[in-house]
Amino acid sequence: MPSYTPPLRDMQFVMHEVFNVAEEFKAMPKHAEMDEETINAVLEEGGKFAAEVIFPLNISGDEEGCKLDQKTHAVTTPKGFKEAYAKYVEGGWPALSCDPEFGGQGLPVVVNQCFYEMMNSANQAWTMYPGLTHGAYAALHTHGTEEQKKTYLHKMTSGEWTGTMCLTEPHCGTDLGLMRTKAEPQPDGSYRITGNKIFISAGEHDMADNIVHLVLARLPDAPKGIKGVSLFIVPKFMVKPDGSLGERNGIYCGGLEHKMGIHGNATAQIVIDNAYGTLVGQPNKGMQAMFVMMNAARLGVGNQSLGLTEVAFQNALAYAKDRIQMRSLSGTKAKDKPADPIIVHPDVRKMLLTAKAYAEGGRALACYGALLLDKELHHPDAKVRKNSGEILSLLTPIVKAFLTDNGYQAATMCQQVFGGHGYIKEWGMEQFVRDARINMIYEGTNTIQSLDLLGRKILGDNGAALKKFGKMVGALVEEEGVNEKMAEFINPIAYLGDQMTKFTTELGFKGLQNPDEVGAAAVDYLRVAGHLVFGYFFARMAQVALRQIAAGNTDPFYQAKLQTARFYFAKLFPETATLMRTARAGSKVLMDTEAALA
């Protein structure tokens, strides 16, 4: 049976010692009163909820799964899920970072980010029910009419109602321009919507009174392709003028997907049969509103894998310290035992440290992204808002793809630490692997994220956002360049930062001659960019740790941070050299292969 301890110390380190979030918040009137003590107290209670309420339901929820009544189309979630959700609502957790105008507590996004990391560690399948609501809330908060906000946001903020995003159809996934769901205008300004959606996470359940579906559909006169997509609110139950629930709408679950993982979440096939809906935003401009939700979801999916990386590492570490197997190659370490604990073996340590480095680097990146979002939304200086939004846009595909690739690799390595026991259900490790696998696929596959990063975010704006991040790296290099104790952390990022400029320019020129060159290089390019970002944050974390040690702080946490950073730069960061070489190999060996793929 696995265990979980919320990593509060590391969260506090990242927020308060590396990013100094309380000082950042002082510049934002909305969060000016937010201090370290409040943040720590909230997350301590959030950690208790994650560890004590939903973590015990993770294995049982996976084993039981969700059940669909074909006659009524009702979905029953695993035992304990509904009761846990009631405690979540009772504790005020849905409102944590929501707008006070709609009943929210108005806390910074970075606090909600850390809370959700802990919930994802505890139970990703359960956490997806309230998690998707945040994305739907954000889309309506940004693009909804005043009437729509009044009707839906209070209930979504309180957690009484949940939300979904209904994009995918049986014949199309990422290519939403192929979508067929139709929306017919009605005399009263509403629409009647008909179509079929698949892979809709939390699409039907028994945990909340109503489900607010955000549905992409086409108007009768819509242009072809992605430019003809509109977004609609389609509630499970109709909402009366006084806010109470009315009759059932024509949207229901026609089937549940049988999946590799996240069994506790209802991944629904949604049938939309002449359902009532209202338009969100402008006709044929649905992707503008949906991207608010999709970007939130992409950051959330990265956070899901961060959570799984952490919990997998914790359990593998505990097992490696306890499990005895053979003797150390350098001599007996546990003389009172018939064999040494497997943690003495170098490759076991490599797997454990890989997971630890990916968890700590991922936490720094995820917290920084959330802080950027706070600044984009609430900083009084328009230039700061714009700059924060541009850097966050650059980092979003890295958060989604790099963290989920790393998370799956880390979960698999941690399973490997257990040997044969890792393949057995009772230890919980195989579930972490299965659950982690979906995160690389949904909300835009990681290849799509790579194309977005290289094609749109970097080459599309001539590298402007990348240059802004490069200036951050350059500032750190200039600050610590003569510090010998920082050399092992600074030199690698200084070198890679210089290489990235040449590397990006080279790929841009090749892409102008043959667009397939961008497609062939994109996945490798994203991992290189991911390592540059991780390297920057590990250097900043090492900087703080070295200063604490120099000041006489004997807390072993700082030595541990330095050792993890050294491992990362020695064993993981060098992957960039291979990746740049394979990216430069070009598209010919991929595309000129008719005989090989005949």
CB atoms within 10 A of CB 268: 28
Return d(Cα 330, Cα 328) in angstroms, integer: 5
The answer to whether the beta carbons of residues 410 and 572 sit under 8 Å apart is no
DSSP-derived 3-state class of residue 198: strand
Q: Which of 443, 434, 449 is nearest to 308 (CA)?
A: 434
Reduce the secondary structure of 243-296 to three states and give it as a string: CCEEEECCEEEEEECCCCCCCCCCEEEEEEEEEEEEEECCCCCHHHHHHHHHHH
Strands (E), 116-226: 161-166, 182-185, 191-201, 210-217
- The H-assigned helical ranges of 439-486 are 446-451, 464-480
Q: Which residue has the tokens 């806010």?
A: 243
For residue 377, what are its two tokens? 């939304």
Dihedral class, residue 48 (left if φ above 0, else alpha if ψ from -120 to 50, else beta): alpha
Q: Which of 24, 310, 360, 443 is catalytic?
A: 443
Q: Would you give the distance in Å from CA 359 to the centre of its chain?
A: 13
Residue 371: DSSP 8-state: H
SS3 category, 181:
coil
C-beta separation of 152 from 238 below 8 A: no
Q: Quick check: helix, strand or coil at residue 169?
A: strand
Chain-centre distance for alpha carbon 51 = 20
Q: Is 443 part of the annotated catalytic residue set? A: yes
Distances (CA, A) of 454 to 459, 508, 522: 6, 9, 6
Angle formed at CA 573 by CA 569 and CA 575, multiple of 5 degrees: 145
The amino acid sitting at 528 is V
Q: Which residues are catalytic?
A: 443
